[in-house]
Chain A
């Protein structure tokens, strides 16, 4: 397996634009997680899914953030509209309920 795949790896956009981050989990994994990492706040859990269903989105910072998982092999994290304070590295991870496996991350810069 290729591991968790994320795209794009880097995204630079202007304030107010919509941003969509993508994730393909490891095949067979039934949990999918979205995290955000910043220097100030470290690594924070935003939302996680189980069998494509959102279970806990209490970490989603604002209504500008939304996440979907239309099927077992694909998930998106959308920010609309984006703001400079959203600049961070966004990680996707998947698991079978125990050990988590992380993707390489998407570095988002909002100008």
Chain B
């Protein structure tokens, strides 16, 4: 059974710092991996989607990498801002359209 974990569970950094969020999965047979952010009381907003054949994707200050063989993905956030404060979740797509989500990393960026 696929399990997805995220480390750390919570992270607090001062504004301007670069940071890395980690996502690990136990079964490398995935079709893609998606990173989301969730603001308190809100739905999930898609950030980046990485296909299983890709190594990384970039969008603005965000960069996500994927190492399928080792079962790991990282989300790199450059020059963090208070507006980046949210919970970040990763999800892997299995066969069909079955998705397994990680528990999330709660990020606080302090002004």
Interface residues of A (CB under 8 A from B): 4, 31, 33, 42-45, 48, 50, 55-56, 91, 93, 95, 97-105
Whether the pair A55, B97 counts as a contact (CB closer than 8 A) is yes
Cβ of B96 within 8 Å of any chain A Cβ, yes or no, is yes
Query: How far apart sit A93 and B98, CA to CA, in the bound complex (Å)?
Result: 13
Whether the pair A56, B45 counts as a contact (CB closer than 8 A) is no
Q: Which residues in window 17-70 of B have CB below 8 A to A? A: 32, 34, 36, 42-46, 49
Q: Which residue in chain A gives the minimum CB-CB distance to B4? A: A42
24 A-B pairs in the complex with CB atoms less than 8 angstroms apart = A33-B99, A42-B101, A42-B103, A42-B104, A43-B89, A44-B101, A45-B98, A45-B100, A48-B97, A48-B98, A55-B96, A91-B44, A93-B44, A95-B97, A98-B49, A100-B44, A100-B91, A101-B46, A102-B36, A102-B43, A102-B46, A104-B42, A104-B43, A105-B42
Interface residues of B (CB under 8 A from A): 32, 34, 36, 42-46, 49, 89, 91, 96-104
Residues of A within 8 A of B91 (CB): 43, 100
- Give A70 Cβ to nearest chain B Cβ, in Å: 20
Q: Which residue in chain B gives the minimum CB-CB distance to A97? A: B97
Whether the pair B97, A31 counts as a contact (CB closer than 8 A) is yes
Query: How far apart sit A98 and B32, CA to CA, in the bound complex (Å)?
Result: 8
Residues of A within 8 A of B100 (CB): 45
Q: Evaluate whether A56 and B34 lie within 8 angstroms (CB atoms) in the complex, with A43-B89, A102-B43 already known.
A: no
Residues of B within 8 A of A33 (CB): 97, 99
Q: Evaluate whether A56 and B97 lie within 8 angstroms (CB atoms) in the complex, with A42-B103, A100-B34 already known.
A: yes
Q: Which residue in chain A gives the minimum CB-CB distance to B44? A: A102
